[in-house]
Amino acid sequence: MAVIVDLMQTVNNFLNKHQDQRTANWFLMSSPFYTLGVCLLYVIFVKIIGPKLMENRKPFKLQNTLVYYNLFQVLFSTWLFYEIGMGGWFTGEYSFRCQPVDYSNKPSTLRMVRASWWYFFSKFTEFFDTIFFVLRKKNQQITTLHVIHHGVMPMSVWFGVKFTPGGHSTFFGFLNTFVHIIMYTYYMLSAMGPEVQKYLWWKKYITTLQMIQFVAIMVHAFQLLFTECNYPRAFVWWIGMHAVMFFFLFKEFYNEAYIRKKQAAAAAALKLARTGNGVCQNGDAKLQNGDAKLQNGAIKLQNGVNGYAKAPAQNGSAVTSVNDYYVNGVNQRIKEE
């Protein structure tokens, strides 16, 4: 144990020699191990402790809590976006081509320094995204992408606030807070229930916006590898490689959530048509011995425009919806083969 304590102290001493003195005594900034510890506790709770505690309990609904939480995140992100903007990006003081860190105590500079710390702090508040998933037993939504994204960000931003609270790398937070305004607005509306959810057709475009964000951050960071700029080259790589990592993680999520699932559903529906003595004509699969017609991955009944009353029964019970037809019908036919 003494060896570990000595090692931690050595790391702290090394980092403190090069720190920005303006943030040296701010909350959580004296050592990286406080932030690292909180991030590790977060991962352990959402992946192990939380699901275990909820294993034999009913999920919490938390509808009102989620509405207010997401409203808070919308307002917090809006304030951060404004503060980072007024710290330089909105005022014309900052250049998109090259922006060195200003280590002075000029009012606009200190405004950016404070905004950088609050952006760091906001990464901890976002842990509640996952904690609410755990309490609602939405474990399928606690994906590798989700945990890595939330678990890594506080530690990543800590180094920026410790050494470069301002300058070129604040573009990351500037874009990210804008995306979060849109993202948490969507989550807030979704939490309001089915009456609002039916208008939320644009979820996948949030993921697209996030990927565009990371491409912009990559370009903005890596351009300094080809120009002369008084900005630490290490932080160019630090920010740029984070953007690369998150881009590919979000791209994999997008492929899985919106492309592969659609392809799998289309393949299963086509198999349903074939096992029902159907033929495929011009991309539409028609059942010869039934009343269903498959068009673009959806099943329509030829008889019964407003319902499914004339759909065949499955296992002795009438099919009342497309979902019933898909689950009971397809799975049953596959088993019989």
Q: Quick: pLDDT tens for 109-162.
A: 999 999 999 999 999 999 999 999 999 999 988 988 899 989 999 999 999 999
d(CA 318, CA 309): 8
- Show the beta-strand stretches assigned E in the chain: 279-281, 284-286, 292-295, 298-301
pLDDT of residue 310: 40
d(CA 108, CA 101): 12
- Do 331 and 200 lie in a common domain? no
Q: What percent of the chain has pLDDT over 90?
A: 64
pLDDT of residue 81: 98
Catalytic entry in 149, 180, 220, 242: 149
Residues paired with 285 in a beta bridge: 280, 294
Catalytic residue check, 149:
yes
Helix %, strand %, coil % for the chain, to 5? 65, 5, 30
pLDDT of residue 2: 84
Q: Tell me if 297 is assigned to some domain.
A: yes
- Do 117 and 177 lie in a common domain? yes
d(CA 22, CA 240): 25
User: pTM for this one?
Assistant: 0.76
Q: Tell me if 103 is assigned to some domain.
A: yes
Q: Tell me if 177 is assigned to some domain.
A: yes
- What is the tens place of the pLDDT at every residue in 55-113? 999 999 999 999 999 999 999 999 999 999 999 999 999 999 999 999 999 999 999 99
Residues in the chain: 337
- Do 309 and 222 lie in a common domain? no
Q: Tell me if 317 is assigned to some domain.
A: yes
Q: Which of 240, 262, 284 is at the close of a domain? A: 262
- Do 204 and 296 lie in a common domain? no
Q: Which residue range forms the structural domain that includes residue 296?
A: 276-336
- Do 59 and 92 lie in a common domain? yes
Number of DSSP helices (H) and strands (E) in the chain, helices first: 14, 4
- 325 neighbors 337 (Cβ within 8 angstroms): no
- Do 173 and 312 lie in a common domain? no
Q: Which long-range contacts (CB under 8 A, 24 or more apart) does 241-248 make?
A: 242/152, 242/156, 242/172, 243/172, 243/214, 243/215, 243/217, 243/218, 244/214, 244/218, 246/149, 246/210, 246/214, 247/211, 247/214, 247/215, 247/218
Name 298's Cβ contacts closer than 8 Å, sequence gap at least 6.
322
Higher pLDDT, residue 31 or 330: 31
d(CA 86, CA 115): 10
- Do 290 and 244 lie in a common domain? no
- Do 290 and 151 lie in a common domain? no
* C-beta atoms surrounding 162 within 10 Å: 23
Give how many domains the chain has, as a whole number.
2
pLDDT of residue 276: 59
- Do 214 and 287 lie in a common domain? no
pLDDT of residue 33: 96
